[in-house]
Structure 1
Amino acid sequence: MAYEMILSERRGDVLVLTLNRPDRLNAAPPAMFDELRDAIGRLDGARAVLFTGAGRAFCSGADVAGGAFATDSDPAETTFQALTRHYNTTIAAIADLAVPVVSAVRGPAAGIGCSLALAADFCVASETAYFLQAFVNIGLVPDGGASWMLPRLIGKARATEMMMLGERVPAAKALDWGLIHKVVADDALDAEAFALAERLAAGPTVALGLMRRGLAHALEVDYATAMKHEAENQRAARGSADSLEGGIAFLQKRKPAFRGA
């Protein structure tokens, strides 16, 4: 698939995916999310994924002006189809990835862009970044999984504040709330986020993939079921080559050389 709205670059073991519509603050038509979904389906051995945006924004939301939710004979149905067939399926594919995911946010991460940024395991933001659920300002409701993500990340009260007041949450406040992982200087963002992705890519990929899926699973089940699922994941991790290498390295008092298998 030839990409027109994103850039896909393999840097070592990290797949870097850049939203590439800087003239539109990376506003996302449905086709952009289709391209992202295609790209993460072609990891080809990459052991971590990094999402970022070209220019001064991560993503200003769905491209309403550019036709993401075109006004036609049934705009409500058009919106529903755009979400269920394009945006939501991509967010779900990210959640199902077997490798760690990092997002690097500068400028706005609004609407579906906010959902994309927070779908990562680690969200690194620059001092210029802000997170916004602006739907209330145009008579809509949060989407892209925001109503699931936000209360789990920051609690019901703060999630309600973001959704019902529709105000910007600057990077510093987002960090204080526990919404994101780290805030760095704007000119340090790219290097810091890539270094984190590279660190994760050098880790035990099987175990990390089980961790990210296990965390999501544990949010939805009772204590006993979560522990049973942990035991199953531990069995899978224990059978990996990286687990064997980790044990040998521990006994030999050296740093393990994980290979992602």
Structure 2
Amino acid sequence: MPLSVTLPSRPLRVRPPGLGLRNIVTSLFRALLISGLFLFAIHMLGADLVGDARVLDRAVPAREGRLVDGSCRNKAVLISCSARLSARAPDGTSLTREASFVFIAWPRDSYPLTVVADSAQPSYLTTDLALDRFGNRAVTLAVALSGLLLLLSRALVRSLTTWSNARRLKSALDGRRLIATPLELQKRGSRQWRIVSGGLATGLRRSIWTVPAGSQPLYLDRGRDLILGVSAGGPEVMPVDAEGRWLGLTGAERDALLASLPPQLRR
């Protein structure tokens, strides 16, 4: 498909999406957020699970044990309980402890709690409900941690893939005179474009582009979802954003490019 659009005749310094500082900061923030959730889950839920494992088979109702305050909340089938427990040690010392645990079950109106402890380790207070649901809690925590690890690995793989593809593209296109080529925009999200390039002679190539939020393509034919891309004559192609940033266009070059498009396709 011949394209009558005006691209600069000079070699262009391309800046493919994925190499910018914003992408690096976003990727690091996402990885740190997921890692933080992982560590939070281990600290808040894993510590109680380890402590309860030590008294699982030896816990009995604690002396003067009572629930100071606490509640269980449900989100669908996920039940989250937190409580402040108190009891009296054999020597008369007052004992208190904050306990929290999460398990999966069908919700019910109330969850009665009895404060229990191991007579050989009276300072560690827990509840009968926490011990009754010990296996359930262990599975719930394992599933949650596995899910977070999966999210973290996917985020890292996506970031590394985006960075690697952008580096390869920059190596193929940077500092060269580029030619216009039509690309099919199969799907467009806020941060991701799915693009098809090539044709019958060269074969179709599908690629997924991670782009900055708010990025706009330059349409050649909205009815057929064709957008403007560039290449150096080889298989590597890059879509063109409406601001011309990825091509490193000057203001005048961007204006000339937009002026060469049909009026109904200009921004």
Pick 1 or 2: higher relative contact order, CA cutoff 8 A, min separation 6: 2
**Which is richer in helix?**
1
Range class of TM-score, shorter chain:
under 0.3
Larger Rg: 2
TM-score (norm 1): 0.22
